[in-house]
Chains A and B, each alone.
Chain A
């Protein structure tokens, strides 16, 4: 199962529609919407938190939150 937490550094995925109910409202409001493209920009030295870019917002979120957000990967 792919989530934001399983992305590799620099990799891109799309937030899946089914995770809508698991995305905290605050994140949703900050642009973490189903269907949106999300890129994992950086991983903090201790593997947590994660630094992502979604819908033009650059956010640091914890792994715990990130692993609740399912994504679809597009293979290039």
Chain B
């Protein structure tokens, strides 16, 4: 972590376009990149976290995050407020733009709280020290005679107090206190951290005044829709535009060539035919009126049903051995009392955030300004610099609110599209995807097949574990012909299988990509969580053991796997979330008629999660009745936000288990909109019970994603408990169960 710096007035204006004075502190939170991510051109070493104190007492956190529903802005603000001893009503959050001065703004991987909590706290503490110093000078007393409380500095001897705002001028003359003199509060003294805090954006959300990407309005802007080839990477052969040109409001129609990203980074854009109009609807109508003949290209025969068969055949044969395997499973299986084997499938999935991909761009010859709901404005910026050959310092990416992201909005293809059109028409333009575009042209969560085989000894102990997996790799989106899962993907729950297994073998099989592949909330953990939790349930049944007890034994004795991670896996915490959930759900009680209970546990993004689900199955139709989830995510920054996240993850995981499926015929996605890519709705929503483990002394770990991977397997295990029927292939809708 870098030093906290005071930002001088000139830089201040440059950074924020604000002429106001006050104190502005900045520091850099460095993040260790744990996940594959396209390379970015430049290194940055500049502050990415700021806190601004004004004379009127306002404290503004300038957040280097894209808001995407994780309430992260509120959580980070609480850290500053706590150390500063601020009054919550003076605290607000401003969104940073995608400038390298703001450091890495990528919001993937549940990393945000993890890496930014400590620096946030230190900045709050530093600002407090500066205010105390100013007050002490004024009163001519020692600093130790002063304390901060509720937005005032108090003279402990006389009980006099001065409002923060009234000290700002004097404090801004001072230097930032030396790093080693900054003292942080004790966990037990937290006022905001770990408490229930309301989102700082609530009023905007309930009045329709929050500006999302799609709400951005620039004078004289146009609106554009793009017809893209139904088959991935297909191109325009020819098109007729007469009908489209006649749609009232349509102003121009252009063919847009595909922009192919250089190997290893960026997303490019698909290309197609763009319809530019003076309102969104005209652009949509114009697009529908186009008659396009496509050259469908090499993915034209891609059929997901056939691919599922191919993948299944592959996982039924020996694959490539993955380093990290240990022991000898063959001997273990030979010596086993019993072996169990099963094959599991997850289909392609799409994110479908409520706000469709969209971007507003203004190409102005020597500079580009963009307003776009992106999870990763830095990559967007580098990508624009690459494709449009504009120096990166002349590119501004403003990040408005995101109406959900779930991984879709970390790919900046829609931003590239907007800039390409703006350049062509020489005017600001907003590209809006229809929901059909979103469903049919995404970066999909990959489909997978897994084969698992396990051996049990006579006491029901697991003696060997073989797992073969195949899924198209995310890397294929950056490097063609990446036909095997990459190391970072297998590191999401497969190779770091948390069970105490002496004989463990992981194999990877070929899986080529015929769609664009991307990451979706909890990424590969969806596969590992489903395969492993379903299979452990099958083993428990074969061993005639209680599924919770069986898992506790399988996790094994208390141990901490250190390795290189700053967040070592602790088996005790894993067992603890399971026991806590079992207690909360009253595990062991016999289910009522037609009901069943299922359990799943998963370790992801350094957090420990256990879920128990109760389903009822009547006439083969499944209803999820109750969900109990426990998370141990270390220091819980904002408990109500974490709870909200886990409730949301339960619904998200339910949607994918019950309905989620993207399929293709002749290379084209068959689903269109919410009527055939369905979501869980309120009438199907279960009762959700969340428990957050009190682990305030542990560093904070992920909360947005870890609640997802447990849902599908817990539901399927509950169905087995209710009916004796195993669901090994998602979604339930395919089996007529919803």
Query: Are A and B physically bound partners?
Result: no
